[in-house]
Chains A and B, each alone.
Chain A
């Protein structure tokens, strides 16, 4: 079995079209994020309280909502969780005393639904201060990993490759964030962890292509840079797809089987990996080619 044997796709000729495909949804998405007043953050960053409760039998969601409203939690988000009528997720965001709110919700549930065997499956509360600290920590984590990558790639490869890789990573991250905004999903700690994983994964992919470019630059000095990059992508295409597939299989299994707690994390990975594979073939390589073209043009003018 062998796919893409002697592949000779001309990726580079379509690079302007690809630019459009990437830029248009990102621009629309970023505008939509701004119009929504920023990303929808979970209690990890916004501060607040989350209570996941399991009942012995199905309880109508309106009933839980009503109880929460009467108990003074008018702003509580009450949803079914994990596709079961027996499980309910209650979230109250942006409260000062998160731990106290959790206690109140717990006792209200225990009192009001005593007949339904209340099982407090998960309680999370994050104070506003901790929430904003986590936000900063997440921001710096992304910055540090990008800086580390620039340093490593510049050292082992070339500076322009580092910049191209970073742009591809920012592209992947933005794409995933836009997906989250459009589908109205929350950015939690787990999602940030997944984003960092995507950064690593997508880079891994990009490095393999650049590695081949680096090698071909030494063996085929005559070839022009654009076709050399194109050849490199084609030579590594089989590997890109095979690794992409095995990883995506694993992630899809995670989404379907591993339960609702980990689902958002796995969905982030899936989106990021698909986009990451795409950006390796198109975005990162395209940028080093454009960079080269621009430099040659400038040199000719001089």
Chain B
């Protein structure tokens, strides 16, 4: 006989299920645009309670960032990840994504989940960059020339084979004729100097940092350099304080510069850095600009308090990023611009030179601007990363999973169709094989699906594609408990028991089987949950919840319904 409390439990669960699913139904009945608007609205509480779709269904981006803290000291290592986490949060908040999920994983990684993203490439760039801003003094042309000569001498005999530099060659003692390089460099320097003078402007603070118009630079071709000079033969020309290298040769030059021979002759306080932009070179193609800059920055982005975009005064269609420095930074900035009038200062972001303007006078007030041919988005993103600050150490994207909105929509459509077809087939089969009892089991299965969805919604878990697959799988398995019971009842009926006692005995005897088989399945679901990332966790969650709820619906609920039927009147024959 069924105890009274069982009715209460079942009714309570039914009421709770409906209540828990109301927000979800409300949310998904809204048109798509309204849903997006509501997701940002903190007051719409029912949105929070609605069942969320996983990134693989609504489209979005899952990134795992790893901090490379190998160059940090023990002290800095301790809070490095927390700082990165804060900076990433900052950047994402300013980027404007509804419901981002950013959290630490272990002691070196950060997981960033951005649902419903329109431009994943841009987001990845924004989140992944270190954003270390530095101001560094550029070595003048007359300082570069001897370095280039030294490099030519040191790299004699070094050969590049594919992507590998062979440094086993013998370095000859005798210095080659380096006068040509020196001459060319001298010419370039005088050209650049005279050019600077001609474009000097009045002392409005922002125009002082503007870059020289490219057309006025004088290119000095380095044609006199012979082929046997291993380094300088890669240089096309010298241009405004930089050596121009054909884009195609860039990798080769990088390799040459990284050899120990080259490292020995490059002055210790200096290093070569590339410009962010390229420019057309003679004879077609694009050239990269290689500057020799001081290693030690005069100022870094940590002195920055704000960064904003404004239109370029010379060309309003372009945007600049202007920044404000803190008090100390402003004083430093004023001092070193005053000390270096007429020289170039490189504005370096993540070891790439953004611009290298000539300082025309001392700049007070702690304000400056970065020019360059930024698009609106680029300028905006640069301002965001400058405001949010730089990572204390480089960060790599070690895992990325991005699903575009179109694939998400297709996946929802096809998986929903699969679920519907699957339900119909299982119900049809159960009705065919167990008649009315099969229909009852099917009802229990539908109830089971609803409870599982309600649990997912209230646990704030999201529904993923493998999650739906798991749910479809439990359609088949949730009827298993009923199958076990029905088979037992049939056996009991064969022993010529009455319908009522056969039912009770069937449920009673099948119970341990159901318990054992479900608990073992639950072990694997738990392991899956531990092991899985994102979507697989979703699968494990629905599988685990599904197993638990199917015990409730298939055992408790169907038993109660049977008893309701048999207690009212005497049933001679059971439809099973």
Interface membership of A152, Cβ < 8 A: yes
CB pair B403 A122 closer than 8 Å:
yes
A130 and B476 contact, CB distance less than 8 A:
no
The answer on a CB contact under 8 Å between A122 and B418 is no
Cβ–Cβ < 8 Å partners of B417 in chain A: 257-258
- Which of A123, A193, A199, A253 is in CB contact (< 8 Å) with B418? A253
Residues on the A chain within 8 Å of B483, using CB: 239, 242-243, 246
Contact A265:B469 (CB < 8 A) given known A211-B513, A259-B410: yes
Given A123-B120, A125-B399, A269-B473, A250 and B404 contact (CB-CB distance below 8 Å): no
Residue of B nearest to A106 (CB): B121
Q: Does B397 contact A (CB under 8 A)?
A: yes
Chain A residues whose C-beta falls within 8 Å of the C-beta of B421 in the assembled complex: 253, 257
Q: A204-B520, A208-B513 are in contact. Are A249 and B469 (CB under 8 A)?
A: no
Contact A200 B472, beta carbon cutoff 8 Å: no
CB-CB nearest in chain B for A169 = B524
Residue interface mask A190-217, B partner, CB < 8 A = 1: 1011001101110111011001100000
B530–A200 contact, CB under 8 A?
Answer: no
Determine if A249 and B523 form an interchain contact, defined as CB atoms under 8 angstroms apart: no
Q: Decide: A121 and B404 in contact? CB cutoff 8 A.
A: yes
B contact residues around A152 at 8 Å (CB): 519-520, 523
Question: How big is the A interface, by class?
Answer: 35 or more
Across-interface contacts of A201 in B (CB, < 8 A): 477, 521
Residues of A within 8 A of B517 (CB): 203-205, 207-208, 211
Residue A138 lies at the interface, judged by CB distance under 8 Å to chain B: yes
By the criterion CB–CB under 8 Å, are A250 and B398 in contact? no
State in angstroms the CA–CA spacing of A235 and B509 once bound together: 14
Cβ contact within 8 Å between A204 and B480: yes
CB-contact partner of B401 in A124, A208, A246, A248, under 8 A: A124
Asked if B425 contacts A262 (CB within 8 A), the reply is no
Cβ-closest chain B residue relative to A145: B527
A-chain residues with CB within 8 Å of residue B468 when the two chains form the complex: 258
Total contacting residues, chain B, CB less than 8 A: 74
Q: Is B513's CB under 8 angstroms from A207's CB?
A: yes
Is A71 an interface position by the 8 A CB rule? no
Interface residues of A in 1-33 (CB under 8 A from B): 1-2
**A168 shortest CB reach to chain B, Å:** 13
B506 contacts chain A at the CB level, 8 A cutoff: no
Q: Which residues of A contact B402 (CB under 8 A)?
A: 120, 122-124
- A148 adjacent to B466 (CB under 8 Å): no
Contact indicator A102/B400 (Cβ below 8 Å) = yes
The answer to whether B479 touches A246, judged by C-beta atoms less than 8 angstroms apart, is yes
Contact status B400-A250, CB under 8 Å: no
A127 and B398 within 8 A (CB): yes
Given contacts A197-B528, A248-B476, whether A239 and B487 have CB atoms under 8 Å apart is yes
Q: Which of B472-500 contact A (CB under 8 A)?
A: 472-473, 475-477, 479-480, 483-484, 487, 490-491
A270 to B228, CA, bound (A): 67
Q: State the total of A-B contacts with C-beta under 8 angstroms.
A: 221
Instruction: State which residues 109-168 of B face A: CB under 8 Å.
Output: 120-121, 124, 128
Interface string of B399-430 (1 = CB under 8 A from A): 11111101100110011011001100110011
A116 to chain B, nearest CB (A): 14
Decide if B512 is an interface residue (CB 8 Å cutoff): yes
Name B404's contact: one of A122, A125, A130, A235 (CB within 8 Å): A122
Shortest distance between the CB of A200 and any CB in chain B (Å): 4
Q: A261 contacts the other chain (Cβ, under 8 Å)?
A: yes
Q: Is B432 an interface residue (CB 8 A)?
A: yes
Q: Are B404 and A119 in contact (CB under 8 A)?
A: yes
Q: Which of B301-322 contact A (CB under 8 A)?
A: none
Q: Nearest Cβ distance between residue B510 and chain A, in whole angstroms?
A: 9
Chain A residues in 8 Å Cβ range of B411:
259, 261-262
Bound-state CA distance A236–B491 (Å) is: 11
Q: Is the CB of B519 within 8 A of A243?
A: no
Q: Is B277 an interface residue (CB 8 A)?
A: no
A293 part of interface (Cβ distance < 8 Å): no
Pair B523/A246 contact, Cβ less than 8 Å: no
Given A121-B404, A196-B527, check contact A254 B422 (CB 8 Å).
yes
Closest to B433 in A: A1
Using CB atoms, name the residue of chain B closest to A142.
B527
Min distance, Cβ B64 to any Cβ of chain A, angstroms: 7
Chain B hits for A99, CB < 8 A: 124, 128, 396-398, 400
Q: Cβ of A103 < 8 Å from any Cβ of B? A: yes
Binds A, one of B28-36, B203-211, B230-238, B531-539: B531-539
**Which of A125, A243, A245, A259 makes the CB contact (< 8 A) with B477?**
A243
Q: In the bound complex, how far is the Cα of B425 from the Cα of A152, in angstroms?
A: 34
Give every chain A residue within 8 A of B80 (Cβ-Cβ): none
What are the interface flags for A78-104 relative to B under an 8 Å C-beta threshold, 1 for contact and 0 otherwise?
Answer: 000000000000000000001100110
Contact yes or no, B531 A137, CB < 8 A: yes
A163 to chain B: which residues have CB within 8 Å?
none
Contact A249-B520, Cβ < 8 Å, known A1-B433, A130-B398:
no
- Minimum CB–CB distance from B104 to chain A (whole Å) comes to 16
| B543: interface (CB < 8 Å) | yes
In the complex with contacts A200-B521, A246-B430, A138-B512 CB distance below 8 A:
no
Least Cβ distance of B506 to chain A in Å? 12
Which residues in A have their C-beta under 8 angstroms from that of B469?
A: 254, 258, 262, 265-266
Compute how far the CA of A80 lies from the CA of B20 in the bound complex, rounded to whole angstroms.
Answer: 42
Is A141 a contact of B527 with CB atoms below 8 Å? yes
Which residues from 505 to 519 on chain B have a C-beta closer than 8 Å to any C-beta of chain A?
512-513, 516-519
Q: A247 within 8 Å of B by Cβ?
A: yes
Known pairs A211-B513, A256-B418. 4 more at Cβ < 8 A? A98-B400, A103-B124, A208-B513, A247-B473
- Nearest first, the 7 A-B pairs at minimum CB distance are A247-B476, A200-B524, A141-B531, A99-B397, A121-B407, A259-B414, A127-B398
Task: Provide 29 A-B residue pairs closer than 8 Å at the C-beta atoms, listed in order of the A residue.
Answer: A54-B406, A54-B407, A99-B398, A106-B121, A120-B120, A121-B404, A125-B400, A126-B400, A129-B66, A130-B64, A141-B527, A141-B528, A148-B526, A192-B531, A193-B532, A196-B527, A196-B531, A197-B470, A197-B528, A199-B524, A201-B477, A204-B520, A208-B484, A211-B512, A235-B491, A245-B429, A253-B421, A253-B422, A259-B414
